[in-house]
Structure 1
Amino acid sequence: MSSIIRIIDKMLSISLMFLMVAIVFAVLWQVLSRYLLQSPSSGSEEIARFLLIWISLLGAAYSYRVKLHLGLDIVTKRMPDKQQKLTAIFCHVVVLIFSLLVLVLGGSYLVLLTLNPIQISPALGIYIGYVYMVLPLTGFLMSAYALNEIVLIMQNNLSVEEY
């Protein structure tokens, strides 16, 4: 399972880098067209907004994977090792349930809702459902990461400080 997770990590990090470069160019084009050409681009603002949605959600999954998300560990650090592991497993199970129910199921419902009847973005003319497809994708990624963390903790491959 860890080799699959490493492949997903690499693909996700490359995708996030590409999306960050794309949003920089979209915003740069918006500024240049507005102030230098005196003719603001109508599509670049919408592109930047959609890219920000994708970056935010995929970045949340990546930060969960590399343990850079916000966490408060004042109470858990004072627990014995066994309770710390049980608490960590509980937290990852909660993330797994949330990811499956809200992001995968709810996100899939939202995608279907915006694809039938079709909702189209005003400036670019793309289907809004394509923009919302990041929700089930993020849910899948976070579910895979949560399952991986649960397995690692149960196999005792993680020290107490790593989670």
Structure 2
Amino acid sequence: MKTADILFTKVCKFIEIVLISIFGLLVVDVLLQVFSRYILNTSFTFTEELARFSLIWISILGAAYLSAKREHLSMDFLYQKMGVKSQKKTLIFIEICVFLFALFIMVIGGLNLVYTTLHLGQLSGTLRIPLGYIYAILPLSGMLMMCFSIYHFAKIRTNDITD
């Protein structure tokens, strides 16, 4: 196994662990909210905000993970009808599009959002967490997606991957 493949596998495993942890936190948070509301007849104020932030992180980091595993949503009817050369060109085009989207929208836009919210000192309403920390998942996931696109591009070029 090549060094890039080993690194790719380890990063994917780490992301899996983080996603599972966030999901576990989300489940405990929602159960706590239900328990407090229906058993204690009161409501903890932080649970809704924590659930919202957990969903943001699990969604955006999950998108990066799916990009790594090449399991993102796609319609492949036309792709399946193409010849091998056309399929390879299409895969390269897709990886370039994913890379550019991750670069401009997620990394550059995300860093701008993080900088702005940290610079303005915006805090979340209940947890009082700087919103820049919450939004930091956007450029982080974008950088991961860019790395995964480069990895897939290299695999496509060396014919290690075809779909």
Distance of 1:112 and 1:35 partners within structure 2? 40
- CA-CA distance at 1:13 after TM superposition: 0.3
2:92 pairs with 1:89: yes
**Per-residue deviation, 1:68:** 2.0
Q: Residue in 2 aligned with 1:143?
A: 146
Residues in 2 aligned to 1:33 and 1:76: alpha-carbon distance in whole angstroms = 51
Letter in 2 for 1:55: I
> TM-score, normalised to structure 2's length?
0.96
Other-structure match for 2:45: 42
Deviation of 1:59 after TM superposition, in Å, equals 0.7
Q: How many residues align?
A: 160
Q: How much has 1:3 moved relative to structure 2?
A: 1.8
Match of 2:160 in 1: 157
Gaps spanning 5+ residues in structure 2: where?
A: none
Which of 66, 69, 86 aligns to 2:69? It is 66
State the distance in 2 between where 1:96 and 1:64 align.
10
Q: CA deviation at 1:77?
A: 1.1
Alpha-carbon distance in 2 for matches of 1:62, 1:117:
31
**TM-fit CA distance, 1:31:** 0.7
1 CA distance for matches of 2:34 and 2:131? 25
SS in 2 for 1:113: helix
- 1:130 aligned partner: 133
Give how far 1:67 is off.
2.3
Q: CA RMSD of the aligned region, Å? A: 0.8
Secondary structure, aligned partner of 1:157: coil
- Encode CA deviations 1:6-57: one digit per residue, 9 max, x unaligned: 1110110000000000000011111111111111000011000000000000
After the TM superposition, list the runs of 4 or more consecutive aligned residues in structure 1 that deviate by more than 6 angstroms.
none
> 5+ unaligned residues in a row in structure 1: which ranges?
none
Provide the identity percentage.
39
